Chains A and B, each alone.
Chain A
Amino acid sequence: MCTTCGCGTSQPHSHEHGHTHEHGHSHEHTHAGQQGRRLSLEQDILSENNRYAAANRAYWRALGVFALNLVSSPGSGKTSVLVRTIEALRGEVPLAVIEGDQQTDNDAQRIHAAGAPAIQINTGKGCHLDAHAVGHAAQDLNLSSGGLLLIENVGNLVCPAAFDLGEAHKVAVLSVTEGEDKPVKYPDMFAAADVLLLNKIDLLPYVDFDVARALAYARRVNPGIRVFQISARNGEGLTAWFDWLRDGCEQARREMPQPPGR
């Protein structure tokens, strides 16, 4: 129906309702049923983001870079996991980090101190990183071929799920000081992730957190999710995580397109 005068467009425009056009309202507007036309788009609302994500993925693939997008609620220990990872793998694999937070460069400073180049993206009021901002940050980092790129997303279990950054995997971090039902409370994020790091397991004796139940919840929303139980504080379980990262880097290097003629 026409929003200007309220007439229907599906039937002939008869003025049987006793309303005459004496109110000086000229019919310059067109009626959708008469001159309007329908454009069929079927276009993804995030198509712009997805285009940037595809460009990032192609760039990282060409460089043989293994890129991960770490997502969680605030305070799960993402930055501590990154610091531990950098301390273990620096000297072995080229490392770089993109930090996303609404404000401050505290996290980038922690990463620098641990020995890896880092760029902080402040999203201001934004609740997630997008592929465009991440692409620029990755360019500025001058990534080394065959390296590991760790992207720490804004602490938020909702919005980052929808935004592909071009990563190989989303890695969700859940800590045992949170509720064990988080995977079913925020199912989209745990469905979007391929890997779950259950962090702070050193605190299990002090909290009422049922690991089996938490993992059962995670598998309800994502039956194939790969789980590492870790403590970034005392190092427990980290060896398996580091080995998985080494395998990922190795695979990214193997899949790197060779220059022609070799």
Chain B
Amino acid sequence: MHEMTLAESIRDLIDAQAAKEGFRRVHTVELEIGQLAAVDVPALRFALNIALRGSVAGDAELAITEPSGQAMCVQCSTPVELAQRGDPCPACGSYELTVVSGGQMRVSGLVVY
């Protein structure tokens, strides 16, 4: 539901960069949306189609990567991949996991001209 808010934030961020760096068109918007970030990527693409319309990134490609969640098991000290919060450690079955990454939502870069 908050994907439209995120899309508008992305547009504002691109507009601010355009003012600072002086580019007029964006060829590619590179986004990194972690799998634990509670963002529905198809919904975000849909929202960006609307939010970016008429902006410098109006016809930009969206290159979205979705890194998986990474966690550390407190019980067996194993670094594990976490598809979603609430899953157990695949090695020992414990739920005591400390999430290390996967919640990030970043504009990693822009290809501009």
Contact = CB atoms under 8 A, between A and B. Distances in A.
B90 interface: no
A39 B85 contact: no
A219 to B, nearest CB: 7
Interface string A38-82: 111111111111000000000000000000000000000000000
Interface string B24-39: 0001100100001110
Interface in B56-113: 59, 61, 74, 84-86, 88, 95-97, 99, 104-113
A39 B21 contact: yes
A131 B95 CA distance: 32
Nearest to B108: A42
Contact of B86 (A46, A158, A161, A187): A187
A30 interface: yes
B30 to A, nearest CB: 8
Interface residues of A, number: 39
A39 B17 contact: yes
B82 to A, nearest CB: 10
A126 B88 CA distance: 34
A184 interface: yes
A162 to B, nearest CB: 6
Nearest to B10: A45
Given A36-B111, A40-B109, A219 B95 contact: yes
Q: Is the interface of A mostly helix, strand, loop or mixed?
A: mixed
B106 A126 contact: no
Contacts of B109: 38-42
Contact of A39 (B61, B106, B112): B112
Nearest to B59: A3
11 contacts: A3-B59, A36-B111, A38-B110, A44-B104, A44-B105, A45-B105, A45-B106, A158-B2, A219-B95, A220-B88, A220-B95
Given A41-B109, A44-B105, 20 more contacts: A2-B27, A32-B28, A37-B113, A39-B21, A41-B17, A41-B110, A44-B106, A45-B9, A45-B105, A46-B9, A48-B13, A128-B2, A130-B5, A156-B1, A161-B38, A162-B38, A183-B86, A188-B36, A219-B95, A223-B95
